[in-house]
Structure 1
Amino acid sequence: MKIEGNPRFGYSSIVSRPDFTWPDGKRLAVYVALCVEHFSYGTGMGLAYSPGLSHPNSYNWGWREYGNRVGGWRLIGLFEEQKLPLTVLLNSSCYEHCPELVSAFSKRGDEIVAHGYTNSEHPNGMSEEEERKTIEKVTKAIREAEGKPPAGWMSPGAHPSRHTEDLLAKAGYKYTLDWPMDDQPVWMKTDGGPLLSVPYPHEVNDVPMVILHDGTGQAFADMAIDNFDEMLAQSEKQPLAYGITIHTFIVGQPFRLRQFRRVLEHIQKHNDKVWFTTAGNIADHYAGQFPPPAGGSNP
């Protein structure tokens, strides 16, 4: 079998890279990505809490809709209480479906990251032209609502196509969250020029932990805290970026929210060592210190 190489970036060991710091000399950057999603009723794809049931599936749709009606608001309250920013991964259809919720994030100054139109469809499966038009539609909706285009992208279902990065760079995006392969940002090659990959968690993420592996809210909180403590210690050797991914309809459930509060309170105890920020700020700071290398990707 011939092993195909990845055309976007080459191999690079974290122990052999130049040293740097985050703002104020801090070594660990932390952000929370909150997925705010809208799903088609009776059709399409989407995370299943009751797999095997045919459409229309009121139980499954209602579980996910809880995040827009209740869970998202509870999480806004928690982050207001903790005085912390959010990186909001937004299905742009939410501007039509739950504009009041999206507006609340905007008023807080949270970063809005493009997360496709709806999680009922994934880009991997679209034609290149269909995907290009979807990116244009999503970008336009966010630009018109927020007064500026989104800098970052996360594909619905974390499932980009072979064309996604090329299309994003051509559309003016600065970074992507689709590649969970590092604890530092990585420059990628695309047909539209360099695109930065910002570390995104596919482990410290409530979907695999809670839904796929049947983890409890307490276990998810313990994992997030353990990951933080270990990365804080490791950041003495290399500066690192730590993300936590949550969904309004998963961690937004009251019993999980109570456990997640424990995570934020733990991180807050280390404010002197941690830069709690957004994915976009991480991308900007890294790009300011390390412009795209010749050829467009890291060695």
Structure 2
Amino acid sequence: MSAQVDAAAAAAVAKPGSPALSAPPSKAAKDTGIRLTDISLTYRHGSSTLQVLQGIDLDLKPDEFVCVLGPSGCGKSSLVNIIAGYLEPTEGTVRINGSIHTKPDPHVGVVFQHANLFPWLSIAGNVAFGLRMAGVPRKERKRIVAEYLALVGLEEAADLLPHQLSGGMKQRAALARTLAAEPSIVLMDEPFSALDALTRESMQLHLRSIWQRTRICIFFITHDVDEALLLGRRILVMQPGPGRIVQDFANPLFREQLDVPFDELRANKEFTALRRHLLALIAGSRTTND
């Protein structure tokens, strides 16, 4: 199924009192960004089959910030694992900057729900680990680690161990470790879901600030509609049975520079209308007149 917003969906959403959605940005150039073509995934066990994903076509520009919404079981995490190279699709291809991508590599960074830091290494040691494995010289490693710890605001925590950090600080350390490898895309699978509300909002603001400075492509999985509306330049909605993208649109609330508080964005009438629309889609139906 096409990821573009079809005419029928656009017409349905454009009814009085409903948010007006626009199509996502034009497709990435052929040799840049990330391109998924006809991705399907089917699990087979004996005579039984379960189709998890069907016909996913998706183009991500190098500077995208995409939030992916959908109910449990719609294949969001499977899609992340395919893009990461951890899982091979039954059908279709993934291309990064024009090259077919089939296994994990430094071009694709992943931040999971839990930070998964090495408990015996300092925060600086954790950020440096991948660089050391890649053979980056010690002096250059030190420079890169300092740069990315500063980017996530953890300069003063460099010598601490993971157990000495809060949950939000651990996630920032995990993000620094991922960014230090300078990937083309960062996949984030519900990275803030285990955090309390205040820490989560702080991390959301921090991530937006990092994106504004780096303009790296971020593919962000979330169950939280508010989070998607506050963070995503572009929003995808998936539905199960099998997993597919049912809507893909440019977020009209997105600001290239976040110059207003999140609370002000939430108070916007368009935010409320979009939130209602997305909740209805996740529930498996389209919005009607409010």
TM-score tier after normalising by the smaller chain length:
0.3 to 0.5
More strand by share: 2
TM-score, reference length from structure 2: 0.34
Q: TM-score, normalised by structure 1?
A: 0.34
Structure number with the higher helix fraction is 1
